[in-house]
Structure 1
Amino acid sequence: MACILITGGTGLVGKALTAFLTGKGHEVIILTRDITGKTAGNGASFAKWDVKKQELDIAALQKADHIIHLAGAGVMEKKWTEAYKKEIVSSRADSARLLVNSLQQNSNKVRSVISASAIGWYQPTGTVHTEEEPADTSFLGETCRLWEESVEPVTALGKRLVKFRIGIVLSKHGGALKEFMTPLKLGVAAILGNGKQMISWIHITDLCRLFLFAIENEKTGGAYNAAAPAPVNNKTLTLTLAKKMKRFYIPVHVPSFILKIMLGGRSIEILKSTDASCKKIMDAGFAFEFNTIDAAVEDLVKRN
């Protein structure tokens, strides 16, 4: 079994991925700023890194066969002030730079680096997006471009690089699904804007499976969209969730101008349509377990 070093391992995806990988018998080392009092167990452990100081535990790096790079400040968690926008970018690019420099300066046996990116890469064109398209010039498009470029130098070190442009992650433990469910618990199906904006989504289990697929399949390389085969619009997702929760609800459209007042620049991403094709990763041999929003939501609501 492999030893896998994970950055961003304490976040929503990182926690699920750690449990998934250790459940498959792999050893996981999670890089974190503060290891005081932290114990993982079950095949997982913690090691220290400090992105600002550009330092990490070299022993942990040298033990790793693969690196999964998830680290980055939450995009939707805070208001997009100029300072926080800089943090969103630097938390991704500077952490990637630390990994690249550490691999370059120290002997290691790392065979592949699997890096997160996001479908924020794409322009709001209303067409189906494929991996060959250039990055959007919006803030998130530029963030994704800098994110991917910052990790690209590992290829010059002989490491296989896979970049997953991840769609909206659906998980029972938080993230977008929790935001959709909160008003539904009060009987309100909150449809954002006109509700027609397309959402490329992925079930957390399939996302974990994708990372393992990339590790195990040495022919994979480059950018792939990590999104299920059947994107849906905001209204369909909201009403599907309402029906699966089996609650009385009243559909309510939240006007775009209200979202812009409440969320500022973040509203752009909520109102933008993104239909990302998963053909490339499926052609590589990956099969999604949750192909439809009905199947995904039913599974997640059942687990709540």
Structure 2
Amino acid sequence: MDTVLVTGGTGLVGRALTAFLIERGYRVIVLTRKRMSSDHPQLQYARWDLARKTLDTTALQQADHIIHLAGANVAEGRWTNARKQEILDSRVQSSQVLYDHLRLHANKVKKVISASATGYYGPFKGTPFTENDPSADDFLGTTTQAWENSVRQMEDLGKKVIILRTGIVLSLRGGALKEFYKPVKLGFAMVMGNGDQWVSWIHLQDLVRLYFNALVNDQLSGVYNAVAPTPVTNQELITSLARAAKGNSFVTLHVPAFALKLALGEMSVEVLKSVNVSADKILQTGFQFSYPTVQEATEQLLREKK
């Protein structure tokens, strides 16, 4: 039974992935800042402290693989200078702590599979972004580039590194879609701005399967876009969710761009940015999405909720 060390394991993706791995016979150790315990024989919690640059080396030495999901929620709170620094540090410093301990302590880790984000790319210019395109020079572009670079240095230690640039994760348990669903329950489909901006997205279950695929498929290495093959506009995403929940019994309303800027500040740029990212590279490996269209994804999520 292989052991997987997971950072960020208490978040939306981490919880789903941990359950998925346990169901398939893996032992999971979740690194957490808080003291936690588990009665499950395949689940263990271990401590780390980024401020002190420490982690439980016993847990690290048990790991065959690392899945690195840790990072402050980008959409939580306005982007003040302090918040932006926290978003950056939570990603880069956590990677550095892992690297330093892997370098200093004997271990058997074979793979490091890390989250990244489609925020790496700039606004859509007419051709979907591929993994070979350069990063944007805005806040999220420079942050994700620094994040990926901090993970890639683990290749110097002989570890295979796989990075998944993830789009909007569709789940009603958390993330952006949960927020979009709140007005939908009242019969309102709240479209952001004019609604024409592209959204690259992925169903939570497909994202979990992608991480598992990276774990078991030794042919994978480098960077992959973790997005469904059919990006949609913001309006298509919101109205698809509304139809799945309400049929035709909803009203579409637009939240003006100026209102978003007042409410969100600099973060509104990302809400209104058009992001169209190619899934071709991961498709060429043979991976098949369970939910390739937003209609299939939203309908499944609403069935699951009932």
Q: Does TM, scored on the shorter chain, surpass 0.5?
A: yes
Structure 1: gaps of 5 or more residues: none
Which residue in 2 is equivalent to 1:183? 183
Cα contact 1:40–1:46 (8 A) shared by 2 = no
Give me the TM-score of the superposition, normalised by structure 2.
0.97
Which residue in 2 is equivalent to 1:57? 56
Q: CA deviation at 1:206?
A: 0.5
Q: CA deviation at 1:125?
A: 3.0
Distance in 1 (CA, whole Å) between partners of 2:288 and 2:160 is 22
Which residue in 1 is equivalent to 2:252? 251
Distance in 2 (CA, whole Å) between partners of 1:68 and 1:286 is 19
Stretch of structure 1 that moved more, 10-19 or 120-129: 120-129
SS, match of residue 31 in structure 1: strand
Q: CA deviation at 1:287?
A: 1.0
Which residue in 2 is equivalent to 1:167? 167
One-letter amino acid of the structure 1 residue matched with residue 116 of structure 2: S
Q: CA deviation at 1:40?
A: 5.5
Which residue in 1 is equivalent to 2:113? 114
Q: CA deviation at 1:231?
A: 0.6
Question: After superposition, what is the alpha-carbon deviation per residue over 1:131-153, rounded to whole angstroms, capped at 9, x for unaligned?
Answer: 00111001000110010011111
Cα contact 2:164–2:224 (8 A) shared by 1 = yes
Cα contact 1:22–1:42 (8 A) shared by 2 = no
Which residue in 1 is equivalent to 2:24? 24
One-letter amino acid of the structure 2 residue matched with residue 216 of structure 1: V
Structure 2: gaps of 5 or more residues: none
Question: After superposition, what is the alpha-carbon deviation per residue over 1:20-50, rounded to whole angstroms, capped at 9, x for unaligned?
Answer: 11111111100001225x3262621100110
SS, match of residue 276 in structure 1: coil
Within 5 Å, give how 1:94-113 maps onto structure 2: 94-113=93-112
Cα gap change, 1:125 to 1:177, in 2 (>3 Å): closer
Which residue in 2 is equivalent to 1:88? 87
Distance in 1 (CA, whole Å) between partners of 2:274 and 2:124 is 8
Distance in 1 (CA, whole Å) between partners of 2:66 and 2:40 is 19
Which residue in 2 is equivalent to 1:281? 282
SS, match of residue 230 in structure 1: coil
Cα contact 2:124–2:276 (8 A) shared by 1 = no
Distance in 2 (CA, whole Å) between partners of 1:177 and 1:301 is 12
One-letter amino acid of the structure 2 residue matched with residue 291 of structure 1: P
SS, match of residue 103 in structure 1: helix
Cα contact 1:202–1:226 (8 A) shared by 2 = yes
Question: After superposition, what is the alpha-carbon deviation per residue over 1:163-197, rounded to whole angstroms, capped at 9, x for unaligned?
Answer: 00000001121111111111111221101101011
One-letter amino acid of the structure 2 residue matched with residue 119 of structure 1: T
Within 5 Å, give how 1:37-76 maps onto structure 2: 38-39=37-38, 41=40, 43-76=42-75
Aligned length: 303
Distance in 1 (CA, whole Å) between partners of 2:276 and 2:39 is 37
Runs ≥4 residues deviating over 6 A:
none
